[in-house]
Amino acid sequence: MTYNREKILKMLSNAPIYEGIQFHEGRNDEFLIAMDDDFCYDYDYAHGATKLALIPIDEKKDYVIKIPYTGSYNYESSYYDSHNSYHYGREDYWEYYSAEDDKEPWNYCAGEVNRYKIAEESGFSQCFAKTELLGYINGYPIYIQERCITLSNSRGKHSHSKEEKETTSKICGKYCNIDEDWLTDFRLYYGDDLLFNFINFIKDMAWDDDLRSDNIGYIKNRPVLIDYSGFLD
């Protein structure tokens, strides 16, 4: 990754984040409005249940900024809005504390950093988008990750024959819920042996629970896990 740490932290210094803040998806608008116009022209954003991702508009920049939420998820709105109309518009946040960090059990970005180190020590670092601590804004941790394109944003570019996917399936075995086309890309890029070892590694580590199409993808043509911290493990 190529980035200017001081410049990024200075840009984020205007954001309404501080030590002890309850920062969750319901505060994304507050965060983005507080940033200046230059930020809006330079960055897009996306978010899941556990993190806000700031994505440079300039596709030549090889990083994304990730900011963890402090242990709450808009469970009522995401679930009940589609099942019970009388809950529409509620802002009930459900706490989660399972991010593998005793000091910050809500910090799924820190969980990603920890998992990357384990993957590196186990010989699988090339299969993960690297996540590292960038620094702090008012005591609040900010992270940075290698930029990727998700599988969900590259559909049609990565498809394989039935025979190719059957070969991949035989190597991966039963109960592998990861997309077959991505796994076949993985096999063709890294080889059969690494695919076999990698699948067994993430199963043994119980890291295969949330690897949907938005959480896996590519750095150029290299298949990688993008969001690998899990969720409510």
Predicted confidence at residue 94, as pLDDT, reads: 76
112-to-25, 47, 103, 116, 231 alpha-carbon distances in Å:
19, 15, 15, 6, 11
Name the percent of the chain in helix, strand, coil, to the closest 5: 40, 20, 40
Q: Which residues of 114-150 are buried (b: 16+ CB within 10 A; e: fewer)?
A: bbbeebeeeebebbbbbbeebeebeebbbbbbbbbeb
Instruction: Tell me the pLDDT band of 125, cut-offs 50, 70 and 90.
Output: very high
**For residue range 142-151, what is the model confidence (pLDDT) as tens digits?**
999 999 999 9
Do 87 and 76 contact (CB within 8 A), yes or no?
A: yes
More confident residue, 114 or 38: 114
Q: What does the pLDDT average to over 55-74?
A: 91
Q: What is the pLDDT, as a whole number, of residue 82?
A: 43
| Per-residue model confidence as pLDDT tens digits over 66-120 | 999 998 877 554 444 444 444 444 556 778 888 887 788 899 999 999 999 999 9
| The pLDDT value given to residue 157 | 65
Predicted confidence (pLDDT) at residue 60 exceeds the cutoff of 80: yes
Residue 231 pLDDT exceeds 70: yes
Segment (H or E) for 78: helix 75-80
**How high is the pLDDT of residue 99?**
86
Q: Kindly provide the residue ranges of all beta strands, DSSP E only, lying in 48-96, ordered along the sequence.
A: 51-56, 63-68, 72-73, 94-95
178 or 157: which leads in pLDDT: 178
Which pLDDT does position 203 carry in this prediction? 93
Token output for 52: 């806000």
% of residues, the chain, pLDDT over 70: 89
Q: Tokens 């670092």 sit at which residue?
A: 125
Pick from 96-105, 137-146, 172-181, 224-233 the range whose average pLDDT is largest.
137-146
| pLDDT, the chain, mean | 87
Query: Would you say residue 156 has pLDDT above 80?
Result: no
Output the CA–CA distances (angstroms, integers) from residue 194 to 105, 157, 187, in the order listed: 32, 23, 8
What is the predicted pLDDT for the residue at 37? 79
